[in-house]
Amino acid sequence: MGWSSWNNFGPDISETLIRETIDAMEKNGLKDAGFVYVNLDDGWQRYKGLRSEHPLEVDPVKFPNGIKPLADYAHSKGFKLGMYSGPGDTTCAGYTGSEGHAEEDAKMFASWGIDHLKYDACCSHHDEPQEVVQQVMLDMSKSLIATNRSIVFHACHCGWANTWEWAAEEGANQWRIGQDISDDFNYPGFREKYYFDVLDMLDRGNNITQYSGPGHWNDYDMLIVGLNGESKQLVGTGATNLEYRTHFSMWSMVNSPLLIGSDVRNLDKYNLDTLTNKEIIALNQDALGQPATVVYESEDKDVQIYARELSDETMAIALLNRGSETADITVSMRRDLTVPWDVYKLRDLWKGKDLGPYDIPFTVEVRPHEAKIYRATAIVKGN
C-alpha cells in the first residue's frame, strides 16, 4: 500500500513534490490507513538516452540533495521509499535504464535506503521471447537479494510473457497482469487500442487468481481514485465518485497492491474517505491472502458476485453491478458461496452497519456501477 508518482505526474517529479506528498499522507490519514510506500516512477534520472552512453544518476535539478536524504526523510516519518528502473538501455520515458548493470544498480538502490523497485520491461522488451524477459527479471531479483536489504520487487511487464506463471519463482513480489490502466471505469473497447479500464482489468484478473497469494501478488495497476480526468499523464475522461469507490473496493477484494496515483495533497473528502476505509482495506490486507473469485454471473454479465474466505473464517462478498440500470441482487450462502451456513449476519463495510441475522438468502438493490461490500459471519446455534 502506498503512492506512486506516475499516474498523475508522469516524469514531472521532484524532491519538493515527494516531500510534500509524504507530509500530506501523514497529515490526511493515509499513513494511518496503511499507505506507507512512496514510490518514484520514471523521470528521476539525470539523462535521457542510452545507458551505454550515459551513467545512471539522479537528476540534480529535480533532486538537488540526491535520493538517500529523501529516503531518510521518508523513514523518519514512518514511510518507505520506492524507485523505478528497467532492464533496457532506456526506460519507457526515454531515460537511462539498467541494461547490463543490474548488480551495480541494485547495490546503488540499496545504499540509498530504497524499499521498493518497480522494474519495467514493457518498453524495452515488449517483443522479446518469454525466456529473455524471465532472465532480465531474474538478474535484477538476484542482484536485489544479494544486497541483503529488504526490497519489494515489482516485475512489471504489462501483462505480457505470462508473467504471473513464473515471476514468483524468480523472487518477484508483484507483477502487472495487464496493460496500463486508463482513468475510466468502462470505456468501450481499449482506449487507444492499449489502455485497460477498471472492468477490463477485473476481467483479465478473473482467470489468473490462482497465481496470487501472500508475498506474490497479481497487480491490477495503480489506483485511479481522485484523478477526475485531470491527470497530467494518464489518458481517460475520469470516473464518478461512486465508480472510483467501486474500483477501490474491487482492488481490495482481489488483493491487488493499493498504490494511489492521484495528487494526495488535493484529495476531496469523498475520495479521501474512500481511500481510508479501514474495513475495506482490511480485506486487501487479510493474512490469508486469498483473492476473490466470481461465484455468480448473470447471463448478460451485468451482475457479478465475488467472494473470498478471510483468515478469521468470515467471508467477504462483493455484489458488482456493471450495468446501466439498478439491479436487485440475491445471494445464497449455500448456492453461491457453497458454505453450509443456516444462520448468518452481515456487515455492510461502506455503511459501517450490521445486518441480520438471516436464515434465508438476502437481496439488495445495487446502483449502476456500484459494488456493495459485505463481511458475512456464520451464527452457530446456541451462541
Q: 294: how many CB neighbours lie within 10 A of its CB?
A: 17
- Beta-ladder partners of 108: none
At position 309, the amino acid (one-letter code) is E
* Residues 338/372, Cβ–Cβ less than 8 Å: no
At position 272, the amino acid (one-letter code) is L
Q: Which of 42, 115, 139, 180 is catalytic?
A: 180
| CA atoms 57, 136, 156, 110: torsion sign | negative
Q: At what angle do helices 68-76 and 102-112 cross, to 10 degrees?
A: 50
Q: Is residue 120 annotated as part of the catalytic site, yes or no? A: yes
CA distance 255 to 213: 8
Q: 189: how many CB neighbours lie within 10 A of its CB?
A: 9
Q: Is residue 41 annotated as part of the catalytic site, yes or no? A: no
Residues near 36 by beta carbon (within 8 Å), at least 6 away in sequence: 1, 2, 78, 79, 80
Q: Which of 105, 120, 197, 219 is catalytic?
A: 120
Query: What single string gives the DSSP state of each residue in 129-173?
Result: -HHHHHHHHHHHHHHHHHTTS--EEEEE-TT-TTHHHHTGGGT-S
Q: Which residue has the cell 482495506?
A: 281
In degrees, rounded to 5, the angle at the alpha carbon of residue 323 between the alpha carbons of residues 291 and 307 is 20
Catalytic site residues?
120, 180
